[in-house]
Amino acid sequence: MSKDIVQIFDTTLRDGEQVPGCKLDMEQKLVIAERLDELGVNIIEAGFPISSPGDFKSVESIAKLVKNATVCGLTRAVKKDIEVAAEALKYAKKPRIHTGIGTSDSHIKHKFNSNRDAIIERAIEAVSYAKTFVEDVEFYAEDAGRTDNEFLARVCEAVVKAGATVLNIPDTTGYCLPEEYGAKMKYLKENVKGIDKAILSCHCHNDLGLATANSIAGVINGARQIECTINGIGERAGNTSLEEVVMIMRQHPSLNLDTTINSQLLFDTSKMVSNKMGMVVQPNKAIVGANAFAHSSGIHQDGVIKNRETYEIIDPADVGVTESSIVLTARSGRAALAYRAKLVGYELTKIQLDKVYEEFLKFADRKKEILDEDIHDIVEASKVNLQS
Ligand code: KIV
Ligand code: ZN
């Protein structure tokens, strides 16, 4: 049975770029947009055109540049925003306007001083107006994570009727539990009239570290688009990480879901975005962190040297990492030392290895990590006769 394709909507250049201190200039945005297109993302959210003349220019230039992906611009449910977004997107081969409004009681009361019926009216007006410019209109129900399902379904039904092609259900505050977010998608799938005309989209924030789990719960329950960023960057604790959701679907065939992403470009793309934004990737970050394929305890190293699959569920080559690394520390065993010594040119017999290992432990207790150059000093200090 062929797998269902989940659309990957990358918002590195919009939600991701909202990270404090990580502003990108236009040149950098164009390079990233081109790479995202090459990576195989389906939709690139290029920016929020009304927010500044610079953002307008970037969205316009990205729209001209991108060959394959749909290019999307964000708006509020405000006519002027929609007009400006349509203007910025006019050169896109496949343009999408992403418009919406807050739907939780908290947003309706504190942001809009309004009521539910008036919010539905504004949502319909925004989608209908956007439809006069482009065919592809995505609607976001901001703070859908804290919006009650019945009202959310009413909003969704109204905007689908007005022509929305995608329904974005953001967990704006990163509040939901995976079961809750998944149940929300299921509820909408089962209760919104006309839902077959639109794609449900997951847009999750990571305030409780659940953005990836929530997005996966969303697609298991019928969503077919995930909004995410490279390295999971984004405001506060960030957005769903693109590399994580892509690899979860790829490593779990039983989900019967896949994406069009060329996963071998993931590591390099992560480095590129990290460098351009000046935003370090945490070493233990799943898939693309420096330690994602590094093994340091003796038991694990011994297993990986015998067979990679003992402690690795992903072939590093599949995400563009040349090979796993065996890190030498005081917790490493003889197998790891022999392996690394061989890589730098020492083929040690069992007796030689025992001697070198003794010396190695003395070094390793003083130093956090033993590097290739240290191995030469250790072999030297252990005085083994390498000719014997
Ligand atoms: O998190 C959110 O609700 C958003 C919307 C503007 C789509 O980023
Ligand atoms: Zn967001």
* pLDDT tens-digit series, residues 125-166: 999 999 999 999 999 999 999 999 999 999 999 999 999 999
The CA-to-CA distance between both ends of the chain, in Å, stands at 60
Average pLDDT over residues 272-286: 96
pLDDT at 1 over 80: no
Q: Where are the domains of the chain?
A: 4-277, 294-382
ipTM above 0.90, yes or no: yes
Atom of ligand 1 nearest to the CA of 11: 8
Residue-wise pLDDT for 2-49, tens only, equals 999 999 999 999 999 989 888 899 999 999 999 999 999 999 999 999
Collapse the DSSP code of 290 into the 3-class scheme (helix H, G, I; strand E, B; otherwise coil) and give the result: coil
Atom of ligand 1 nearest to the CA of 172: 1
Residue-wise pLDDT for 173-219, tens only, equals 999 999 999 999 999 999 999 999 999 999 999 999 999 999 999 99
Residue-wise pLDDT for 235-274, tens only, equals 999 999 999 999 999 999 999 999 999 999 999 999 999 9
Collapse the DSSP code of 128 into the 3-class scheme (helix H, G, I; strand E, B; otherwise coil) and give the result: helix
Ligand 1 centroid to residue 283 C-alpha, Å: 28
Q: In the structure encoding, which two tokens stand for residue 139, read together?
A: 């609607």
Collapse the DSSP code of 141 into the 3-class scheme (helix H, G, I; strand E, B; otherwise coil) and give the result: strand
pLDDT at 341 over 50: yes
Name the DSSP class of 265: G
Average pLDDT over residues 284-299: 95
Q: What does pLDDT average to over the chain?
A: 96
State whether CATH 3.20.20.70 applies to domain 4-277. yes
Q: Which of 48, 75, 140, 225 to mutate to test the pocket of ligand 1 (most atoms within 8 A of CB)?
A: 140
* Selection from 249, 261, 262, 251 nearest residue 223 by Cα: 249
Please name which ligand lies nearest the alpha carbon of 45: 1
Pairwise CA distance, residues 189 & 71, whole Å: 26
Atom of ligand 1 nearest to the CA of 205: 1
Residue nearest to atom 8 of ligand 1 (CA): 15
Q: Which of 111, 138, 168, 175 to mutate to test the pocket of ligand 1 (most atoms within 8 A of CB)?
A: 168
Pairwise CA distance, residues 372 & 349, whole Å: 19
Using a 6 Å CB cutoff, which residues line ligand 1?
15, 140, 142, 168, 170, 172, 203, 205
What is the model's pLDDT at position 388?
44
Pairwise CA distance, residues 31 & 36, whole Å: 9
* Selection from 10, 89, 34, 19 nearest residue 280 by Cα: 19
Average pLDDT over residues 84-101: 98
Q: What is the pTM of this model?
A: 0.95
* pLDDT tier, 387 (very low <50, low <70, confident <90, very high otherwise): low
Collapse the DSSP code of 380 into the 3-class scheme (helix H, G, I; strand E, B; otherwise coil) and give the result: helix
What is the model's pLDDT at position 228?
98
